[in-house]
Amino acid sequence: MAQAFTGVHNINMDAKGRLAFPARQRERLGPDSSSTLVATVNVSSPCLFIYPQSAWEQVLEKVQALPTMRPGVQNFQRLFVGYATEMEFDGNGRLLLPSSLREYAGLDKKLVLVGQINKFELWDETRWQDVRQQPVEIPEELQSIAL
């Protein structure tokens, strides 16, 4: 893994659906500024995932390996793979989000970009606030590791 993505950033989307990726995070994607990203939906939360191309390919392999005919799997693949869209930065370091993805995540003007190790999550600010204020229940898996 190249470098883990972390950090929470407030960013704005303009009227054309373009969003300025924070410069610092852009550098982490690779010294070459012209890297390709893949955005798709998080099927279990109203937000988007944004992967660097290479990370996406790894995830896609895992997803393809799932038993397609199992109930639930097909639905998941349909959304997760279906919404996946390649994106590149424009000359000003901005990404153009497809309208279908904007709609899915209810993205308005004010967004929040959250680093998540191998990917980013992108939230509409209001929904992010909702999630942030909900109490975190500690799952069992967490109780067995030291932080």
For DNA, the binding residues (CB under 7 A) are 11-12, 14-16, 20-24, 90-94, 96, 99
Contact between 82 and 67 under an 8 Å Cβ cutoff? The reply is no
15 binds a second copy per the rule CB under 8 A: no
Please state the φ and ψ torsions of residue 24, each to the nearest 5 degrees: -60, -45
Longest dimension (CA), the chain: 47
Reduced DSSP (H G I as helix, E B as strand, rest coil) percent helix, strand, coil of the chain, to 5: 30, 30, 40
Query: Least separation, in Å, of the C-beta of 131 and DNA?
Result: 22
- Site track 103-142 with a second copy (rule: CB under 8 A), x = hit: -x---------xxxx-x-x---------xx-x-xxxx-xx
Query: Least separation, in Å, of the C-beta of 128 and DNA?
Result: 16
Which among DNA, a second copy, none contacts residue 115 (Cβ within 5 to 8 A by kind)?
a second copy
- d(CA 102, CA 75) in angstroms, rounded, equals 20
- d(CA 140, CA 147) in angstroms, rounded, equals 14
CB atoms within 10 A of CB 144: 6
- Site track 63-102 with a second copy (rule: CB under 8 A), x = hit: xx-xx--xxxxxxxxxxxxxxxxx-----------xxxx-
Query: Least separation, in Å, of the C-beta of 48 and DNA?
Result: 17
Q: To which residue do tokens 């290479």 refer?
A: 54
**Which residues are near a second copy by CB under 8 A?**
4, 6-10, 40, 43-44, 49, 59-60, 62-64, 66-67, 70-86, 98-101, 104, 114-117, 119, 121, 131-132, 134, 136-139, 141-142, 145, 147
